[in-house]
Amino acid sequence: MNIFRLAGDMTHLASVLVLLLKIHTIKSCAGVSLRTQELYAIVFATRYLDIFTSFVSVYNTFMKLVFLGSSFSIVWYMRYHKAVHRTYDREQDTFRHWFLVLPCLVLALLIHEKFTFLEVLWTFSLYLEAVAILPQLVLLQRTRNIDNLTGQYIFLLGGYRGLYILNWIYRYFTEPHFVHWITWIAGLVQTLLYADFFYYYFLRFIGGRGVE
Amino acid sequence: SSLSNSKDEL
């Protein structure tokens, strides 16, 4: 564990807590894409399949349970909780996210580190996470400006993988044989997809306006 | 092997 990875995990945890705070306290999911949340639930379900078979640390298992529990409960809230579901913008959240799942699965079957069931699904979760934010970014463009909590959620979600990139650089130089091109490229693509969001997000900070 | 050091991340 290094400070970049810890900062990344804490940023990721913060993004989840901000979203849960918004949905649970003000019972609103306005501006939040249910489709991105569904993709993230699939990402965690396929990435943490080894949660019961390979124990890394208490921290690792605890965080996996937090991410699994929060992603599925956010999907549940947005789909079935009456008050929250009413604030869901169904007409605008129309990105065909299932069209993202199949190509990621095919790519994972073609490009992976080991051809085993767990490894292919784990690789699939990396590819899917890289594009999982697309429905949210499309919804963002359609709803024009969003409330601060949603903006902070997206900012933190985009930042966590950027911190992981610093972690990979650190580990590459400090650990021999630490080379994982698939993880690195997927993480880089994922972070680059946030580029224009980060640009407008920082403009907001400078200008002090809402996120346009 | 990859199990050693890339599965210890979230």
Check CB contact under 8 Å for B10 and A60.
Answer: yes
pLDDT of residue A125: 98
Overall average pLDDT of the A175-197 stretch = 96
Q: Determine the Cα–Cα distance for residues A169 and A164; give it in Å rounded to an integer.
A: 9
User: What percent of chain A has pLDDT above 90?
Assistant: 89
pLDDT at residue A102 greater than cutoff 90: yes
Question: pLDDT band at residue B5, thresholds of 50, 70 and 90?
Answer: low
Q: Does A5 touch chain B (CB under 8 A)?
A: yes
With bands split at pLDDT 50, 70 and 90, how would you rate the model's confidence at B6? low
Return d(Cα A107, Cα A153) in angstroms, integer.
29
CB contact A129 to B (< 8 Å): no
pLDDT mean over A149-171: 97
pLDDT tens-digit series, residues A39-71: 999 999 999 999 988 999 999 999 999 999 999
Task: Report d(CA A150, CA A22) in Å as an integer.
Answer: 8
More confident residue, A71 or A202: A71
pLDDT of residue B1: 40
User: Per-residue pLDDT averaged across A79-90, rounded?
Assistant: 96
Rounded to whole angstroms, the Cα distance separating A145 from A76 reads 25
Closest CA relative to residue A88, chosen from A21, A136, A141: A136
Interfacial B residues in 1-10 facing A (CB < 8 Å)? 2-3, 5-10
Bridge partners, residue A146, by sequence = A211
Least confident of A98-102, A159-163, A185-189, A201-205: A201-205
Tens of pLDDT, residues A130-149: 999 999 999 999 987 788 89
Between chains, do A167 and B9 touch, taking CB under 8 Å as contact? yes
pLDDT at res. A210: 59
CA distance A38 to A48: 16
Residue with tokens 């929060």: A70
Q: What's the mean per-residue pLDDT of chain A?
A: 94
Residues 6+ apart with CB under 8 A from A133: A36, A154, A157, A158, A190, A193, A194
What is the DSSP-derived secondary structure letter of residue A49? G
d(CA A199, CA A158) in angstroms, rounded, equals: 12
Residue A64: how many CA atoms within 13 Å on its side-chain side?
Answer: 21
Q: What percent of chain A has pLDDT over 70?
A: 97
